[in-house]
Amino acid sequence: MAIQLFMPTFHTEECISEIKECLDKGWTGLGYKTVLFEEKWKEFSSMPYAHFLNSATVGLHLAIKIFKSENNWNEEDEVISTPITFVSTNHAIGYEGLKVVFADVDEYLCIDPVDIKKKITERTKAILYVGLGGNTGRYKEIVEICKEHKLKLILDASHMVGTRLDGEIVGRDADAVIYSFQAVKNLPTADSGMLCFMEEKYDALARQYSWLGINKDTYSRANDDSTYKWKYDVNYLGYKYHGNSIMASIGMVQLKYIEQDNAYRRQIARWYDDGFSKYAHKIKVIPTANGCESSRHLYIISVENRDGLLKHLNDNDIYPGVHYRDNTEYPMYSYAKGSCPNAHRLSNSVLSLPLHLRLTRSEIETVIKAVIQYISR
Ligand SMILES: Cc1ncc(COP(=O)(O)O)c(C=O)c1O
């Protein structure tokens, strides 16, 4: 059977039973399970606020939008970000007319604090940090840089559900943390995400922006008075970004199993580590940062002839992935081409090996064997 990069596992019966409650009650939209999921998420993540949305992409956009409007950032102000990410991260900056300034990546494939320092200008307003594959990289140094230069820190934690640094879920020292519960993430729904601000005022604004700018407080007050049942205020040009109770139902069930799921992901990573330990001269495993207990969304290696290895694995019915192409190679970000040599080099050599909960030890051994066979010839 083919060995795929990702293949999500759902606790189907439990998910169906949660969803059935929504259907029986006639409440599938915003509210009800979305509120319950937000509460469960806060308990799990220790974030003070959590707003359930229909994706991480929109969460990233709202974080940028709200910080921009509340802190008087101007068009063309700059946000430092990584070239090794899914485009959502960087598009979120562009949606608000801000400029993406790319900093190079380090050995963890996360942005390098040394290069960040070189790229800070008087127009820099924030750093958007991605914990690639669940890795924390040099996150603590980034926190310090943000403090020193009074920059907002936005953590794209799309891969980091359950990642701990020195024993604690990462992100309380950021200004906003965004998680993805997209179909193949560690906590898969179909599509949804969570936006966690550290300050109540930003969370309250996000709740208006994510529902067309409608102020729900005025809505519920109006509903107390039967004369004005239909009345609510619209304060902003908002969006249809909020999550719904069907996705929240799935999310709540999946959340119950996230620790055991991540433990198995880490076990898979250890099998890969053991399998490649004697081949360090040819297979460079992207290391996990000290103190990081990674969610292990990805297991990434770097090899010389990556495309050849990719083909060899495909010929053996094994389907790895590439995370990611250097974003400065995309036409729309080509103004930054050449600004991140490590990212450029690594983007041509990295490969993400199959990693999901349905994989058995013997399938991992099959992948290891096929990789070693290719690099040894
Ligand atoms: C690093 C990163 N950021 C953001 C996103 C966007 O997540 P979503 O699909 O939930 O919008 C993804 C999803 O693939 C991602 O990998």
pLDDT digits (tens, 9 = 90+) for 12-33: 999 999 999 999 999 999 999 9
In sequence order, the 6+-apart residues with CB closer than 8 A to the CB of 340 are 83, 102, 103, 104, 105, 115, 326, 328
Residues comprising the chain, all counted? 377
Nearest atom in ligand 1 to 156's CA: 3
Per the confidence metrics, is the pTM higher than 0.75? Answer: yes
- Give the pLDDT score at 363: 98
* CA-based nearest residue to 40, from 260, 249, 204, 200: 249
Q: Residue 263: helix, strand or coil by DSSP?
A: helix
Q: Indicate the pLDDT class of residue 223, thresholds 50, 70 and 90.
A: low
- Give the pLDDT score at 231: 76
Average pLDDT over residues 288-298: 98
Residue type, 195: L
Nearest atom in ligand 1 to 193's CA: 10
Domain with CATH 3.90.1150.10 in the chain: 258-375
d(CA 344, CA 328): 8
Nearest atom in ligand 1 to 60's CA: 4
* CA-based nearest residue to 142, from 159, 132, 133, 129: 129
**Are residues 196 and 177 in contact, defined by beta-carbon separation less than 8 angstroms?**
yes
d(CA 78, CA 75): 9
Residue of 52, 57, 60 with the most ligand 1 atoms within 8 Å of its CB, for mutation: 57
Q: Is the CB of 85 under 6 A from ligand 1?
A: yes
Does pLDDT of 224 surpass 60?
A: no
- Give the pLDDT score at 102: 98
- Give the pLDDT score at 232: 86
Average pLDDT over residues 44-64: 98
* CA angle at 153 for the pair 150 and 155, rounded to the nearest 5°: 175
Domain with CATH 3.40.640.10 in the chain: 10-256
Question: What CATH number has the domain spanning 258-375?
Answer: 3.90.1150.10
Average pLDDT over residues 102-116: 98
Q: Indicate the pLDDT class of residue 222, thresholds 50, 70 and 90.
A: low
Read off the pLDDT of residues 225-273 as tens digits, 9 standing for 90 and up: 555 556 789 999 999 999 999 999 999 999 999 999 999 999 999 999 9
Q: Indicate the pLDDT class of residue 97, thresholds 50, 70 and 90.
A: very high
Distance 38 CA to ligand 1 centre (A): 19
Q: Return the structure tokens found at 9.
A: 């596992």
* CA-based nearest residue to 156, from 237, 222, 137: 137
b/e per residue 109-123 (b: at least 16 CB within 10 A) = bbbbbebbeebbeee
* CATH, domain 10-256, list 3.40.50.720, 3.40.640.10, 3.30.70.1380, 2.40.50.140: 3.40.640.10
d(CA 374, CA 377): 6
In sequence order, the 6+-apart residues with CB closer than 8 A to the CB of 124 are 77, 78, 79, 80, 101, 149, 151
- Give the pLDDT score at 28: 97
Q: Whose CA is nearest to atom 8 of ligand 1?
A: 56
Average pLDDT over residues 355-366: 98
Does pLDDT of 220 surpass 80?
A: no
Distance 156 CA to ligand 1 centre (A): 8
Distance 159 CA to ligand 1 centre (A): 8
**Are residues 194 and 60 in contact, defined by beta-carbon separation less than 8 angstroms?**
no
* CA-based nearest residue to 40, from 255, 206, 202: 255
Read off the pLDDT of residues 157-206 as tens digits, 9 standing for 90 and up: 999 999 999 999 999 999 999 999 999 999 999 999 999 999 999 999 99
- Give the pLDDT score at 88: 98
d(CA 103, CA 113): 8
Residue owning tokens 């559900």: 161
Helix residue ranges, H only, the chain: 12-25, 33-45, 56-70, 87-95, 113-119, 139-149, 200-209, 216-224, 245-256, 258-276, 306-315, 341-347, 361-375
d(CA 139, CA 135): 9
Residue 48 vs residues 30, 268, 309, 331, 355: alpha-carbon distances, Å: 20, 32, 45, 39, 31
Q: Indicate the pLDDT class of residue 82, thresholds 50, 70 and 90.
A: very high
Read off the pLDDT of residues 336-359 as tens digits, 9 standing for 90 and up: 999 999 999 999 999 999 999 999
DSSP states of 53-70 as a string?
ES-HHHHHHHHHHHHHHH
Distance 266 CA to ligand 1 centre (A): 21
- Give the pLDDT score at 217: 72
d(CA 127, CA 148): 12
Residue type, 291: G
Q: Return the structure tokens found at 173.
A: 């020292």
Q: Indicate the pLDDT class of residue 74, thresholds 50, 70 and 90.
A: very high
